[in-house]
Chains A and B, each alone.
Chain A
Amino acid sequence: MSESEPNPMDIDYVSNLARIELSEKEKEKFRGQLGDVLKYFEKLQEVDVEGVEPTAHAFPRYNVWDKDTAKKPFSVDLALQNAPKSRNEQILVPKVVED
Chain B
Amino acid sequence: MSSSALVEKTAFDLSHLLANKEVSSVEIAQACLSQIDRVDEQVHAFLHRDDQDFLAQARASDERREKGNSLGPLDGIPVALKDVISVKGQPLTAASKILQNYISPYDATVTKKLKDAGAVIGGRLNLDEFAMGSSTENSAYGPTRNPWDLNCVPGGSSGGSSAAVAAREAPLTLGSDTGGSIRQPASLCGVVGMKPTYGMVSRYGLAAFASSLDQIGPFSKTVEDTALLLEIISGHDPLDSTSFPTEIPSYSSAINQSLKPCVLGLPKEYFGEGMDDEVRNAVNLAVEFYRNQGHEIVEVSLPTTDLAVPVYYVIATAEASSNLARYDGIRYTTRSDRAQNAIDVYAKSRGEGFGEEVKRRCILGAYGLSSGYYDAYYLRAQKTRTLIREDFNRVFKEVDAILTPTAPTPAFKFGEKSDDPISMYLSDIYTISTNLAGLPAISVPCGFTKGNLPIGLQLIGRAFEESSLLSIAHAYDREHKFGCVTPSLVKE
A and B touch in the complex (CB under 8 A): yes
Taking the complex as formed, is A83 at the interface, i.e. its CB lies under 8 A from any CB of chain B? yes
Q: Are B377 and A44 in contact (CB under 8 A)?
A: yes
Q: Which of A17, A30, A37 contacts B313 (CB 8 A)?
A: A37
Residues of B within 8 A of A78 (CB): 105
Taking the complex as formed, is B311 at the interface, i.e. its CB lies under 8 A from any CB of chain A? yes
Instruction: Report the separation of the CA atoms of residues A83 and B389 in the bound assembly, to the nearest whole angstrom.
Output: 42
Q: Are B380 and A45 in contact (CB under 8 A)?
A: yes
Taking the complex as formed, is A70 at the interface, i.e. its CB lies under 8 A from any CB of chain B? no
Instruction: Report the separation of the CA atoms of residues A37 and B316 in the bound assembly, to the nearest whole angstrom.
Output: 14
If the complex has contacts A54-B386, A56-B382, A94-B340, are A20 and B310 also in contact, measured as CB distance less than 8 A?
no
Q: Are B385 and A54 in contact (CB under 8 A)?
A: yes
If the complex has contacts A16-B347, A44-B310, A55-B389, are A93 and B330 also in contact, measured as CB distance less than 8 A?
yes
Residues of B within 8 A of A26 (CB): 356, 359
Q: Are B363 and A1 in contact (CB under 8 A)?
A: no
- A residues 57-84 near B (Cβ < 8 Å) are 57-59, 61, 64, 66, 74, 78-79, 81-84
Residues of B within 8 A of A49 (CB): 380, 383-384, 387
Residues of A within 8 A of B376 (CB): 1, 44-45
Q: How many residues of B contact A (CB 8 A)?
A: 73
Q: Which of A21, A37, A44, A74 contacts B350 (CB 8 A)?
A: A21
- B residues 387-402 near A (Cβ < 8 Å) are 387, 389
Q: Which of A15, A57, A58, A81 contacts B363 (CB 8 A)?
A: A15
Residues of A within 8 A of B379 (CB): 54
Q: Are A59 and B438 in contact (CB under 8 A)?
A: yes
Instruction: Report the separation of the CA atoms of residues A43 and B377 in the bound assembly, to the nearest whole angstrom.
Output: 11
Q: Are B366 and A14 in contact (CB under 8 A)?
A: yes
Instruction: Report the separation of the CA atoms of residues A54 and B310 in the bound assembly, to the nearest whole angstrom.
Output: 15
Residues of A within 8 A of B329 (CB): 84
Bin chain A's interface residue count: 35 or more
Chain A nearest CB from B215 CB (Å) reads: 10
Q: Are A41 and B212 in contact (CB under 8 A)?
A: no
Residues of B within 8 A of A43 (CB): 306-307, 310
Residue of B nearest to A86 (CB): B331
Chain A nearest CB from B130 CB (Å) reads: 13
Taking the complex as formed, is B29 at the interface, i.e. its CB lies under 8 A from any CB of chain A? no
Instruction: Report the separation of the CA atoms of residues A79 and B333 in the bound assembly, to the nearest whole angstrom.
Output: 13
Instruction: Report the separation of the CA atoms of residues A98 and B68 in the bound assembly, to the nearest whole angstrom.
Output: 64
- B residues 336-361 near A (Cβ < 8 Å) are 339-348, 350-352, 354, 356, 359-360
Residue of A nearest to B364 (CB): A34
Residue of B nearest to A16 (CB): B347
Residues of B within 8 A of A84 (CB): 329-330, 332-335
Taking the complex as formed, is B463 at the interface, i.e. its CB lies under 8 A from any CB of chain A? yes
If the complex has contacts A41-B310, A44-B307, A83-B332, are A58 and B438 also in contact, measured as CB distance less than 8 A?
yes
Q: Are A14 and B346 in contact (CB under 8 A)?
A: no
Q: Are A41 and B341 in contact (CB under 8 A)?
A: no
Taking the complex as formed, is B152 at the interface, i.e. its CB lies under 8 A from any CB of chain A? no
Instruction: Report the separation of the CA atoms of residues A26 and B333 in the bound assembly, to the nearest whole angstrom.
Output: 23
Residue of A nearest to B211 (CB): A57
Taking the complex as formed, is B270 at the interface, i.e. its CB lies under 8 A from any CB of chain A? no
Residue of A nearest to B367 (CB): A14
Residues of B within 8 A of A81 (CB): 103, 105
Taking the complex as formed, is B437 at the interface, i.e. its CB lies under 8 A from any CB of chain A? yes
If the complex has contacts A9-B367, A43-B307, are A59 and B199 also in contact, measured as CB distance less than 8 A?
yes
Taking the complex as formed, is B404 at the interface, i.e. its CB lies under 8 A from any CB of chain A? no
Q: Which of B351, B356, B422 contacts A40 (CB 8 A)?
A: B422
Residues of B within 8 A of A37 (CB): 313, 364, 421-422
Point out which of B212, B363, B382 has the most chain A C-beta atoms below 10 A from its C-beta.
B363
**A-B pairs with lowest CB-CB distance, top 5:** A58-B438, A21-B351, A82-B332, A54-B382, A19-B346
**A19-B343, A22-B351 known; 18 other A-B pairs, CB under 8 Å?**
A1-B373, A1-B376, A11-B363, A14-B370, A17-B370, A18-B362, A20-B350, A21-B348, A34-B363, A34-B364, A34-B367, A37-B313, A44-B381, A47-B384, A52-B384, A55-B389, A57-B242, A74-B105
A-B contact pairs, 28 of them (CB 8 A): A15-B363, A19-B346, A19-B350, A20-B362, A34-B363, A37-B422, A40-B422, A41-B377, A44-B314, A44-B380, A47-B380, A47-B383, A49-B387, A53-B383, A54-B385, A59-B199, A59-B438, A61-B244, A64-B241, A74-B105, A79-B105, A83-B332, A84-B329, A84-B330, A84-B332, A93-B342, A94-B344, A94-B345
